Structure 1
Amino acid sequence: MKIKQLKFFLAAAGLATLAGVAQAAPQVEVLHYWTSGGEAKSIAELKKMMEAKGVVWKDFAVAGGAGENATTALKARVIASSPPTAAQIKGPAIQEWGNEGVLANIDSAATAGKWDSLLPPVISNVMKYKGHYVAAPVNVHRVNWLWINPAVLTKAGAKTPTNFDEFFAAADKIKKAGLVAIAHGGQPWQDTTIFETVVLGVGGADFYNKSLVKLDQASLTGPTMIKSFETLAKIKTYIDKDAAGRDWNLATAMVINGKAGMQFMGDWAKGEFTAAGKVAGKDFLCVAAPGTEKSFTFNIDSLAMFTVKNPEEQKAQLTLASAVMSPEFQEVFNLNKGSIPARANIARTKFDSCATKSMDDMAASNKGNALLPSLAHGMALDSAKAGAIQDVVAKFMNSTMTPQAAVQALAKAAKTQ
């Protein structure tokens, strides 16, 4: 064999080998915003599972607690006709992407895994577009939690609050003790998290549904909503001056470190306590936010699957969907994240008192018609209306806007197209 022929043969053999390696190791590119301590630990477990199945994990992490930055990145990729394999999106946004014709049908994975029998209808309906599964649920978060450092309560001589009168009494004592009463991050989505929780605590489940889900104009402008804004205005007085722009996990760290007494936040905050080695019921308390004990505002994290052309990537995508719904991942992810599994029949033995209370409260709220989609976390309304309402709340939190002016602005925002 001549030198040139030998070089050609070796080069061709090398290319064939590389092609074989590429075929043997399909990849999934996953766009997500699970970037804080507990969240990053959780997603690392999914990466391990996929790599154990021979699938290369390409991480596309975009920081930003409520996912605004991730949504911007996703839009850019889809417009460029280069979507990731999967992206962390949820609620009505799944339907919006479905309308764009860019989501993949993953019914085969759902049928094989018997998802319809494992998921409550309130969850499975969100995962489908026109009757077909296009997303896999990762978990269920409860939003209406109040996180408390009991050592701070003891130092301040305060007790665990169950209603707003008791809450403000505790906040006064914490503030008097020289500590921050309410840890908060002054970001629009965090402001709206407190707002929706206050609306639920002041008005109850039926009022929440009428005002923040159905957008009933009379409810949005009535005395109960005015009282909600008055309560929110009082809460503002217990937030420290450095809250502007603070990330949620840094606010949680204030409670963990004893610099602040309480925080309104969903149960992803528990992942931060757990990552810090703290024990539920001892080092921190999880209680339903004032007045919301019998209700449950939910936020479902999910990975929506985007249409990919490569057959090997399509197979890897179905493998990813099945892995997300596996008992092993549902358990380990939710233990790290602070949430509860989306699918039924996951053993409770490894879950702490906060998680088991969340499971029980979700079941009870479902029966009592008090299982409610979170406005602040993209479960209740389309992005345009939710964004308009969030803007009103953010303005109220950062100005001298009166409750009366706020309800009028809220009603106007609800009419956003």
Structure 2
Amino acid sequence: MIAQLRGFIVVLVLSTVWPISAISAPSQDVEVLHWWTSGSEAKAVQVIKQMMENQGVHWQDFAVPGGAGESAMTVLKSRAISGNPPAAAQIKGPALQEWASLGFLTNLDGVAKAQLWDQRIPALINKDMKYHGHYVAVPVNIHRINWLWINSAIFAKAHAEIPKTWEQFFTVAEKIKQAGYPVLAQGNQDWQTTTVFESIALSQLGAKGYRQAFIEHLPQVLTSPAMVHSFALLQKMRPYIVHPENHQSWNRATAEVIHNQAAMQIIGDWANGEFLLAHEKMGKDIRCVPVPGTAHQFIYSVDSFAMFQLSEPNDIKAQQRLAHTIMSPELQARFNKIKGSIPVRSDIKLTGFDACSLKSERAFKRSLKTHSAVPSVAHGMATTSYVQGAILDVVTNFFNTPDASPKEASEKLMRAILAAS
């Protein structure tokens, strides 16, 4: 991303002069860039806004639609390079280190020390929030990616059993299809397809092999029989997708499950937020089970806000207050109940949380003990933006080519990752 961002600087200097009016911002405002625009996400954001405004800080909402944040990152680069960054921006994983290395982010150590972040944030998440030992971002939540969401009504009508293995999954999918019901909801977007693929890959590679492939980039694992089989399983899934060519958003796909237009969806538990918003009874109307073969593993994604360097003292105070508010017990509980995720603070009791969130918390704690928690590739937690982009390209091109060879795809994946590393 660094080289990409520097190239962006050259283009911007040659083509754009940011208006002076955009640089000045009123005091005691906090402008926050994010891509939470679905119904449940927007409702969750209102919790942060309300809590900030209750403290006398005006919330400037800077929402950029796009489920994976690609559009938001493009806008953010323009703003940051022009010397007009927002106070905070939703950035994840290794990208935080990239932004910090360019000198854009500010130090949050004071807030972190006051709230004991070192003790209350799990170590595997804590490291991503720091640059050279100093906090530059505040985490909001923990999402589990490897969820299979089940529409109980369709399963009951088709007399289908919840699958625990991939063999059972395809048997159930065919049974539901033959019974005349739509099977799998998914939008044909690169990050949605890769969300499914990384869960499949985890089931075949295990946590150790997953890390070796997507973090360590070992060629022998990237081209292993397990990886080849992962591509084969992804390919086998395509005939069961309700609209395989439709580039619909993830929440439109989730709506298909809600409205009995699809029996299943494989996606992270932000879908849980949409189910809750629709007043579905989690664990009854909608069942949440691990993707086949991943019951004892946990693919995680952490929403976090990077804090950008500001010059006005009042803006800096408002920014620090935002970081403190995000990590407060009240916000952690209220926000995540709506978002469908679980709090990032380890000392929060999940009183009043839904059944699927409780399952997620148990699974996460278990995965920490067994070292089976792995970062999401599709959601920018596992590797650099360059490598992530290469993986998304290979997986998406394979998925959209019905007669593609799984073995050749694994070899392309290996070459693409090594070239981007």
Match of 2:37 in 1: 35
In structure 2, which of residues 327, 330, 347 is the aligned counterpart of residue 328 of structure 1?
330
Structure 1 residue 224 corresponds to structure 2 residue 230: no
In structure 2, which of residues 403, 409, 412 is the aligned counterpart of residue 409 of structure 1?
412
In structure 1, which of residues 41, 49, 52 is the aligned counterpart of residue 51 of structure 2?
49
Match of 2:80 in 1: 78
Count of aligned residue pairs for this structure pair:
396
Match of 1:110 in 2: 112
Q: Report the residue type matching 2:398 in the other structure.
A: F
How far did 1:203 drift?
Answer: 2.3
For the 8 Å contact 2:238–2:244, the answer to whether it is kept is no
In structure 1, which of residues 367, 386, 396 is the aligned counterpart of residue 388 of structure 2?
386
Moved more, 209-218 or 326-335: 209-218
CA RMSD of aligned residues (A): 1.3
Quick one: distance in 2 between partners of 1:131 and 1:268? 30
Q: Deviations over 1:171-218 (max 9, x none)?
A: 111111222211000000001000000001122212211112211100
Q: Report the residue type matching 1:249 in the other structure.
A: N
For the 8 Å contact 1:171–1:181, the answer to whether it is kept is yes
Quick one: distance in 1 between partners of 2:106 and 2:378? 27
Match of 1:196 in 2: 198
Match of 1:41, SS state, is helix
Q: Report the residue type matching 2:78 in the other structure.
A: A
Match of 1:91 in 2: 93
Match of 1:348, SS state, is coil
Structure 1 residue 362 corresponds to structure 2 residue 391: no
Quick one: distance in 2 between partners of 1:245 and 1:382? 25
How far did 1:240 drift?
Answer: 2.5
Match of 1:7 in 2: none
For the 8 Å contact 2:185–2:243, the answer to whether it is kept is no
Quick one: distance in 2 between partners of 1:83 and 1:56? 17
Quick one: distance in 2 between partners of 1:154 and 1:351? 26
Match of 2:299, SS state, is strand
Quick one: distance in 1 between partners of 2:153 and 2:414? 42
1:4-403 pair list within 5 angstroms:
26-241=28-243, 243-399=245-401, 400-403=403-406
Match of 1:227, SS state, is helix
Q: Deviations over 1:205-264 (max 9, x none)?
A: 122111122111001111111111111110112112454211000000001111100000
Match of 2:240, SS state, is coil
Q: Report the residue type matching 2:102 in the other structure.
A: E
Q: Report the residue type matching 1:403 in the other structure.
A: P
Moved more, 209-218 or 317-326: 209-218
Q: Please report the TM-score for the alignment, with normalisation by the length of structure 2.
A: 0.92
Q: Report the residue type matching 1:341 in the other structure.
A: P
**1:131 to 1:157, Cα distance in 2 relative to 1, 3 A:** same
Q: Report the residue type matching 2:291 in the other structure.
A: A
Moved more, 267-276 or 109-118: 109-118
Match of 1:319, SS state, is helix
How far did 1:120 drift?
Answer: 1.1
Quick one: distance in 2 between partners of 1:257 and 1:105? 46
Quick one: distance in 1 between partners of 2:347 and 2:208? 30
Q: Which has the larger radius of gyration?
A: 1
Quick one: distance in 2 between partners of 1:24 and 1:376? 37
Identity %: 48
For the 8 Å contact 2:186–2:243, the answer to whether it is kept is no
Q: Report the residue type matching 1:101 in the other structure.
A: G
Quick one: distance in 1 between partners of 2:290 and 2:192? 17
For the 8 Å contact 1:39–1:271, the answer to whether it is kept is yes
For the 8 Å contact 1:184–1:243, the answer to whether it is kept is no
How far did 1:351 drift?
Answer: 1.0
Match of 1:304, SS state, is strand
Match of 2:341, SS state, is coil
What stretches of structure 2 of length at least 5 have no aligned partner?
A: 1-23
**1:105 to 1:167, Cα distance in 2 relative to 1, 3 A:** same
How far did 1:24 drift?
Answer: 9.8
